[in-house]
Structure 1
């Protein structure tokens, strides 16, 4: 795990593998993940694009390993938990058993996303609590960064979200390299997608930079081995 600072607290990047990251919040003994997109492959299959139907198992296996490494007792899923609202009905028995075991072992919170606004059925099926957003320890948790500003343009408080699937894209020795990253500004932190079958948006995309304003600076935050990399994306 790689520590970094945000909102006056220490957080830690937790690898699922080189393509996915969770965030551990020591003060709350909580693991935060965004954009699991469970059952994305089966959603594609319904429209004639057949893909190996094991993305949910892989994602949940990574999540279980992240919980084992951190010892977290709480889990906050920051929206787009399933790829669509019918996803809970398509999940296979094995993956469903994995998910049920995880929600039983932790204090699990599902935050709704634009892909799964009707995820309330998951609460009855697997447990956990479904909310649109919530505040924990003075930090706002939601799916998509919003214009939560107070008087004078100051942010209403620190916020964690997902939605954008940020990736840092750089060129090294003539090669283009893309890695999942968090995007951090003064008051907002956008997590990378954790799902096994998710794409990504350039961390410097104007939509992402706009979502984390107002800010004095915006950085991509990721890990290289056990070392923190902070890459400047924008300076006000």
Structure 2
């Protein structure tokens, strides 16, 4: 899978090229910031009509990584839908697809700042969740250790090519946005950089997960 393997608080994790995180010891897949229904929300609030395909593309990517890893547990790390109305407006075929992906898996929706998770779709709903040495939440907290979060949509540039990226050091990990239609914050931005020590890595997504030193 061209993943990058590393440890956080004693847990052996794999940053996947897709932007998903896999924890083999727990058969656990974590994705952040799906932002399903974003085109619907933009049309509803701003009147801008965008091609409504980002939900299907995101579900296609999620389906592929679930099949590749065989994950039995899934944590969606917040902002799974662009807002609550976007969740309610999900196309019926996409809703069925998502329900099929959830079937037979231990599925947890973490509350994000855009939405608390789709209550009508089942699964567990939590503000944050601790599994072994790791705590999963949407937004990083100062001073945390063993923390896995999302929210910032980090992106890093390599040879002029900007890619979504994981950011990791010995204390915490921030995931890139997994959604197909999401913007991003440069990885050297002070809002991200202040959370990490000098040995932090940016792990770029793409054809393979590529670790590079975090830009200062």
2:60 pairs with 1:61 = yes
Contact 1:15 1:66 survives alignment (8 Å): no
Q: Once superposed, what is the RMSD of the aligned Cα atoms?
A: 1.6
2:202 pairs with 1:220 = yes
Runs (4+) off by over 6 Å: none
Query: What is the CA distance between 1:186 and its match in structure 2?
Result: 2.0
Query: What is the CA distance between 1:180 and its match in structure 2?
Result: 0.9
CA distance in 2, matches of 1:130, 1:167: 28
Query: What is the CA distance between 1:224 and its match in structure 2?
Result: 5.9
Q: Report 1:18-33 matches (<5 A).
A: 21-33=19-31
- Number of the residue aligned with 1:163: 151
Q: Structure 1 residues 227 and 192, CA, compared in 2 at 3 Å: closer, same or farther? A: closer
Q: Report 1:68-83 matches (<5 A).
A: 68-83=67-82
Contact 2:163 2:205 survives alignment (8 Å): no
Query: What is the CA distance between 1:70 and its match in structure 2?
Result: 0.3
Q: Structure 1 residues 30 and 98, CA, compared in 2 at 3 Å: closer, same or farther? A: same
Contact 2:153 2:175 survives alignment (8 Å): yes
Q: Structure 1 residues 190 and 97, CA, compared in 2 at 3 Å: closer, same or farther? A: same
> Rg bigger for which structure?
1
- Number of the residue aligned with 1:5: 6
CA distance in 1, matches of 2:54, 2:209: 29
Q: Report 1:64-213 matches (<5 A).
A: 64-117=63-116, 119=117, 122-123=118-119, 125-147=120-142, 149=143, 155=144, 157-170=145-158, 172=159, 176-210=160-194, 212-213=195-196
Query: What is the CA distance between 1:216 and its match in structure 2?
Result: 4.2
Question: Relative to total residues, which structure has the larger strand share, 1 or 2?
Answer: 1
CA distance in 2, matches of 1:32, 1:205: 24
Unaligned runs of 5+ in 2: none
Query: What is the CA distance between 1:6 and its match in structure 2?
Result: 2.7
After TM superposition, the score normalised by the length of structure 2 is 0.92
- Which SS does the other structure have where 1:50 is aligned? coil
Contact 1:166 1:183 survives alignment (8 Å): yes
- Which SS does the other structure have where 1:15 is aligned? coil
Contact 1:11 1:23 survives alignment (8 Å): yes
CA distance in 1, matches of 2:57, 2:72: 21
- Which SS does the other structure have where 1:4 is aligned? strand
